[in-house]
Structure 1
Amino acid sequence: MDQFEKLYDEHENVKVRFTGFTTENARYDFGVVYSSLFFGKPLVVCMQTGRSTLLEPKDLDDVEHLQHVFRISDEGQANELVEFFSEILPSVPFTTQYE
């Protein structure tokens, strides 16, 4: 480990939400990790594929990003995720984390 410069090594008790739901066309299972790290953006993990991303409400304006991250080809399905995430993602002001 001498060859690596440690950037951070934090321990934190976090709130985790596991939620599953269906739409007319798909089933979704997500884990949402609410943390004070990463500028307060929750870590969203698709439990079916293991794909994950950090999300905040303004990220939901970019539907193509959600399609890419979660590999969703249908824009309608991505818009359903936008609706879901807009209800569960907290509004977090930008904070300086790495000072």
Structure 2
Amino acid sequence: MDLFEKLYDEEEKSKVRFVGFTTESTRYDFGIVYTSLFFGKPLVICMQTGRSTLLDPKDLEDIEYIQSAFRIQDEQQAIDLIEFFKTALPILPFEPQYE
């Protein structure tokens, strides 16, 4: 195992939320992993496409980032997701992960 330099190897009990919902035009199924790693940003996984990203409330201010992360062409669909994530993501103060 000398080929790899281990950067981290952490275990924790995480809260995971699975949520499915529809808008006027689209169905969504997400898994949200709430973790203390990654600066407290939850890992958001689209269960339909397998695309995932780390999100926090500040990321929701950038519609282009949401469109890019989940490869959404339609701006209204991205706006709908942002509205959902505003209620689903915790507001956490920034805490340094690496010291």
TM-score (norm 2): 0.98
| Correspondence list, 1:83-98, <5 A | 83-98=83-98
- Partners of 2:98 and 2:48 lie apart in 1 by 32
- Identity between Structure 1 and Structure 2 (%): 71
- Partners of 1:65 and 1:96 lie apart in 2 by 23
- Partners of 1:6 and 1:49 lie apart in 2 by 29
The gaps in structure 2 that reach 5 residues or longer are none
How many aligned positions are there?
99
TM-score (norm 1): 0.98
The gaps in structure 1 that reach 5 residues or longer are none
Instruction: Indicate the residue corresponding to 1:27 in structure 2.
Output: 27
Q: Hey, which bits of structure 1, 4+ residues long, moved more than 2 A?
A: none
| Structural RMSD (CA) | 0.6
- Please state how far the C-alpha of 1:4 moved relative to its aligned partner: 1.1
- Partners of 1:15 and 1:3 lie apart in 2 by 33
Q: Please give the secondary structure, in 2, of the residue aligned with 1:29.
A: strand
